[in-house]
Structure 1
């Protein structure tokens, strides 16, 4: 075993003097993603050519060799001789970090060995998967340093936070793209140059290459202009290819910008990838550009979803924010008293209200509308226009006083040495509230009732109620505890009050521990009367609010818990525990509360059912200090990374919303002509028929038994509904019951005109479509599935894996496979059989001979089907790969990208070269059938029409009709969202965009 404390390399040479054989040693735990990244990284490092300026500085054009081991030693924790030498001979160690890294003793030994040789400074960390705190091994978080002090050797343990390059992604392709983008961060220290220099030189080199290509094309055009038409055509082809390459590059850049959270710039760059005029395009319309623009525009996202839009770059930690009512402006406050106003549409700083004034708090500032704000500073109370920064009015003598705006923004309560009420529109004093023992330096709560007739002010355990119509004091009552944390009116005379006991120490306050109380009070002619109260014995109650969509529901926080209370009975409805302390939450509508946590997580909670709404929940990179919502935008402030983050509600605008039903939908389909559709409820107890031209409900059909399967008949005038152990029902599209066929044994149904096939353990019943009369009964043994070939033949598969070919006329069966068959499909000429080893045999129906065997390393097959012309077999595997096999050429190819989850269906519309793949997670991926380029990605799809240009999306208790967006529709939507914004000349130069 190697002794770490005694490692020496190349005699007495120091690290700086040594000539290394390897520039880097790649250390990683062997696994699918780890191996993939290691191989890509190794190739990129060894093939990377340094920019000429950098190469001249360091005296070499390329990096030295990079060491990557190919096997992991499983039986021993000691390093092999070869790896020992490689570690000694490596200048840097690159650790590929994932959640599995720390589990490998082999990798830990490599880190320990290299750290003892060169210290932690030469270890570069590349994070590919998992949470950061799980990825970084403990050995890299601690550095032991020994030094001499007063003649004695002192050893200290220092905590360090290693720098890391993050390339985590949703799949391999995304990880590889991020590696390509961030590779320079690893190359710079290895090459001994600054990252910024390397990045700039790299950009310059790319720009020169593109300009050289453009110049070369221009020279070709000029030099061969006098030649024949074939030359001109050839140059045109080259130019079109160049323009196509440029469009693909812009589309890729658009997707990268979207990943980084700059959605508006992603739209601008994605739009530049398309021709200026779609009617007379000056460059090809690339599928990559269409897909990138559809993603940036979020045209296929119809659920409530918050997406990063812009970042507010700040030089100081941010602690609070306030938004104007329609989300046009945001004001942020730093710890040093800086209040700054930001334009949320552009992400740019509009103005600095105050600089470094420690007297300022967020209760010194308020937007009165989207044009004005009120500020209380040393000059008094001022109303200022946001756009021009011009003073509209000022009330002198109210310096640095707290003020509170009424909900209608018409009244201002100012608290200083006295308590005064002002008319905000007339800037006149309404009156002074005398007799109040209020300390303006202590926390207080203020609220108005809905018609602005009653005002409540609370502080130090006392709540004062004022009649604003008659300008008189009504009553004062005491809360259970001294610290008032919330006051809200439920109706004109009912008030909810939350109070907390004084906390013992700062830690108790930090975590929200302690005791709290919620009381419901009625204000009558004889004073305040308690209706009910709730005690909290372990947590303080904060952020008390009324759900505007349900005025009988209170919402409040208890440390890391969001609770809802039914006012009518005084009981907790839902108690929703979160991962960390809730710093703030917003009520978004649709019964949603969005919570920002101290640990950086953001969770959307459904107040009507008490659950998590996942599509609007995400994890933020830094701890959250505040979160606010207005006008479809969320602003998150953080204290750690000195940034504010703008998120936008990007729920799309569907073609139509289908209404007139209750509950949610599980399945559905379009008729062949696309004029009709049906959907089945999740409970299987209701079927709905829709007229798709009118986007209207025609009828609903109640089901006595669970509706397991349904479909349109060939004539598009009726639908059939099958219920296991009951049989078939046929209904007209107007909801008229037509016929039924009873079968209490059938577990599955298959339909292909003119017959239905009902499958049970012992028989297959063949029923005529036109009158639902029994045509044939064919005995079987343990049949589990069936595949129809034509009107006269079908295949049956039993539980033992035996495959038989059945002749309908004679009712006789011929055994094709004795056992081992998992699934089968057939067309008129070929049978495709999936075997137990997951290989697929192709059998000629005429001869019974095997014509080919398709193997895929034992991967389980999730779905396979012949296309409509029976020329291609499509196969989807559990690893989400999709393959297609030509029955004519006997060639098999893989789709250029995996589906997000295993394939469950496929639709073709060859007239417009469109193909749509459905998955286990109800996702839909639309492709160009000719080149397999992705055109769109949708979720929660339950039905696809035959043209693949219209879809039905189910979102909880809503149904949407979603169109496929053409190039013209995407450009129109981009213009709507951009609202006249264009790329600057500097931005065009940055992305090599030429007019």
Structure 2
């Protein structure tokens, strides 16, 4: 395929850069991105190929903040890319997302259109197996792909090597000989130098005369320098204020406050930099000084060392600590697991434990391998030595049990259930860690441990067997089992009460998904939703209802009648929901989060994000936590409710006829409050009476001859 044919195709991107975020990986990705997009073909090659540039490059840090698994947006970008550029480091092959990107691209376009760049390490350390092993005649054959080698002793030299070696990947993308492309580039450079030389000769004479004039102007320049520096510092303060707002939207109030403080003068009597009012607004926002609004507010961000296959979280009953489970995809289709316990007060790490490895084929979205008991100090986890109970504050081991893959605890915490899928056993323990029962499930079928009912008498597992799919109910005291045939895989299975189960069932024959409520005793079923689209989650409320979402809408449906009781549409697609104690947390694609009281259907509050979609992990009356797409950052929200009689609260939409797009806090004189507003391109101010918040008047900034609110 020649360059002309390629660019006349429908591909949106010349290449997709697959790399591990952060560190030298990201620096090289940025440099390659620049080198390719800025490169202009030599004139003869441009005419032959019918193009002047290679076109756009997809690098996800610039093109998107993602959704779930290998998001459809990334898949679409790969489909729309002619080449895949793989940046190999020792860290790269540990990323499940990067491996899926390579696998998907090779499936579409083959290995011939993959360009490998070796940044660090030896090939056997940094090249992923998917690029070094192929199957031929039923056997695995080792190959070593040709790579552009940019390795060096320092990051600065590596980036420099990228600039020097750029013609190697450019030549391949253009289907040209490397030496030929280099030679043509030298010829172009030579012409440019000759043209520049002629310009310089003419310019020398002009320069001599100009020097005398410049000496005269130099004195004036020194006088203006101080003013210029002040303007530069003012601009820097504006940028720091913006970064502080971004950190606040990311949920990191500490960083937001530090950035704002950096932009403020240290000495107000003799300020070393100008005072910018928007910086003060960023600082008060980060500290919550004048925030009298109620609802869930950003509190803390916990950042893990590396991206994860999945991340789970649990807030302790006393709301003093947060437990975080991390799953990392490794070679051999295995998941490495780890559990961390952090303080919710000062973010300090109280303890961390390695969990046993788990085969990814056993993993589901509901899989759990650790649990924090209601005493808020006892942690249960499945370690390499089996089930372990430990005091999170002292480290004292309380008891140990058998090895396992999954763990669940009954609502009353009197029954602990674990599974060992390798051996095919189910183990039951009491609260003291004594084994009360074990059941041999066998290894022929696939099981998923789901839930224990309200009175701790039954445990339910999802089962996939040859010729049958459904649910298995086991008595927690006798081990007696009952199989409930469902003719389809059952996911997100949980007990609503002692006998009623709710789950999502996939009907592969009809290509439908159903939300089903099934009575475990009578086996009577009620279908709450039938869909030809993916149902990703369903949650129960205290109102005898279930909540699910599709596209931009969430729905609440009665589990008895199957009728929709409430629905709501958001501006962008819903990513996740979580319901606990009738508090519903919702996250959307645009990074926005919403919190509802499901009893009253009232919006408690909403929070803006940074444009990146987060996933709700846990929520209760006082806290909510969510993770980012990469599973690295856990954002915690804390609920605050103000009932101060001195604070007057009023919905501005009740007193303003034509509501703007956005309001800004400006200032107060005691008896009057001034707010800034923006509506489309128009910006202005509105003044309110501070006693009853009635509007007194307003004006646009243009009419006031001001350029911005800081004036």
TM-score by length of 2: 0.51
Matched, 1:256 2:216: no
- Contact kept, 8 Å, 1:142 with 1:160, in 2: the verdict is no
Deviation of 1:520 (Å): 4.1
Matched, 1:945 2:689: yes
- Seen in structure 2, the aligned counterparts of structure 1 residues 244 and 545 have a Cα distance that, compared at 3 Å, is same
Matched, 1:455 2:458: yes
How is 1:326-405 mapped onto 2 (pairs within 5 angstroms)? Answer: 326=319, 328-336=322-330, 337-342=335-340, 343=342, 353-354=353-354, 357-359=357-359, 362-368=367-373, 370-386=376-392, 390-396=395-401, 398-405=402-409
Deviation of 1:495 (Å): 1.0
Q: Tell me which residue corresponds to 1:841.
A: none
Q: Return the alpha-carbon distance in structure 1 between the equivalents of residues 245 and 648 of structure 2.
A: 37
- DSSP 3-state at the match of 2:284: helix
- Contact kept, 8 Å, 1:321 with 1:626, in 2: the verdict is no
How is 1:163-312 mapped onto 2 (pairs within 5 angstroms)? Answer: 252-260=239-247, 261=250, 262-271=252-261, 287-298=277-288, 299-300=290-291, 302=293, 304=295, 310=301, 312=303
Match of 2:578 among 562, 570, 586: 586
How is 1:552-631 mapped onto 2 (pairs within 5 angstroms)? Answer: 552-556=544-548, 563-573=555-565, 584-587=576-579, 591-595=583-587, 604=594, 615-616=606-607, 621=612, 627-629=617-619
- Seen in structure 2, the aligned counterparts of structure 1 residues 655 and 944 have a Cα distance that, compared at 3 Å, is farther
Q: Tell me which residue corresponds to 2:411.
A: 407
Q: Return the alpha-carbon distance in structure 2 between the equivalents of residues 538 and 620 of structure 1.
A: 29
Q: Tell me which residue corresponds to 1:546.
A: 540
How is 1:127-146 mapped onto 2 (pairs within 5 angstroms)? Answer: 141-142=81-82
- Contact kept, 8 Å, 2:493 with 2:502, in 1: the verdict is yes
Deviation of 1:487 (Å): 4.3
How is 1:80-99 mapped onto 2 (pairs within 5 angstroms)? Answer: none
Aligned length: 497
- Contact kept, 8 Å, 2:410 with 2:416, in 1: the verdict is yes
Q: Return the alpha-carbon distance in structure 2 between the equivalents of residues 321 and 380 of structure 1.
A: 20
Match of 2:675 among 909, 916, 934: 916
Deviation of 1:334 (Å): 1.1
Give CA deviations for 1:192-226 in whole Å, capped at 9, x if unaligned: 799xxxxxxxxxxxxxxxxxxxxxxxxxxxxxxxx
Deviation of 1:498 (Å): 2.7
- Seen in structure 2, the aligned counterparts of structure 1 residues 371 and 407 have a Cα distance that, compared at 3 Å, is same
How is 1:630-641 mapped onto 2 (pairs within 5 angstroms)? Answer: 632-638=623-629
- DSSP 3-state at the match of 2:243: helix
Matched, 1:645 2:633: yes
Give CA deviations for 1:324-359 in whole Å, capped at 9, x if unaligned: 333634221112333334547577877653278345
- Contact kept, 8 Å, 1:248 with 1:288, in 2: the verdict is no
- Contact kept, 8 Å, 2:233 with 2:273, in 1: the verdict is no
Matched, 1:500 2:505: yes
- Contact kept, 8 Å, 1:545 with 1:555, in 2: the verdict is yes
Deviation of 1:379 (Å): 1.4
Q: Tell me which residue corresponds to 1:321.
A: 312
- Seen in structure 2, the aligned counterparts of structure 1 residues 476 and 125 have a Cα distance that, compared at 3 Å, is closer
- DSSP 3-state at the match of 1:457: strand
- Contact kept, 8 Å, 1:402 with 1:415, in 2: the verdict is yes
Deviation of 1:422 (Å): 2.5
Q: Return the alpha-carbon distance in structure 2 between the equivalents of residues 668 and 462 of structure 1.
A: 56
Q: Return the alpha-carbon distance in structure 2 between the equivalents of residues 115 and 643 of structure 1.
A: 43
Deviation of 1:128 (Å): 10
Deviation of 1:401 (Å): 4.9
- Contact kept, 8 Å, 1:445 with 1:484, in 2: the verdict is no
- Contact kept, 8 Å, 2:343 with 2:350, in 1: the verdict is no
Relative contact order (alpha carbons < 8 A, sep ≥ 6): 1 or 2 greater?
2
- DSSP 3-state at the match of 1:296: helix
Q: Return the alpha-carbon distance in structure 1 between the equivalents of residues 257 and 405 of structure 2.
A: 45
Deviation of 1:518 (Å): 1.0
- DSSP 3-state at the match of 1:266: helix
- Seen in structure 2, the aligned counterparts of structure 1 residues 377 and 458 have a Cα distance that, compared at 3 Å, is same
* Structure (1/2) with the larger strand percentage: 1
How is 1:792-811 mapped onto 2 (pairs within 5 angstroms)? Answer: none
Give CA deviations for 1:446-503 in whole Å, capped at 9, x if unaligned: 2221xx354342443345364x7xx568994725435333444444x55133352564
Deviation of 1:552 (Å): 1.2
Match of 2:448 among 437, 443, 446: 443
Q: Return the alpha-carbon distance in structure 2 between the equivalents of residues 129 and 376 of structure 1.
A: 39
Q: CA RMSD in A?
A: 6.4
- Contact kept, 8 Å, 1:93 with 1:124, in 2: the verdict is no
- Contact kept, 8 Å, 1:480 with 1:517, in 2: the verdict is no
TM-score by length of 1: 0.39
- Contact kept, 8 Å, 2:338 with 2:354, in 1: the verdict is yes
How is 1:76-115 mapped onto 2 (pairs within 5 angstroms)? Answer: none
Q: Tell me which residue corresponds to 1:677.
A: none
- Seen in structure 2, the aligned counterparts of structure 1 residues 457 and 294 have a Cα distance that, compared at 3 Å, is same
Q: Return the alpha-carbon distance in structure 1 between the equivalents of residues 515 and 565 of structure 2.
A: 16
- DSSP 3-state at the match of 2:512: coil
Q: Return the alpha-carbon distance in structure 1 between the equivalents of residues 414 and 674 of structure 2.
A: 58
Computing the radius of gyration over CA atoms, which structure comes out larger, 1 or 2?
1
Deviation of 1:571 (Å): 2.6
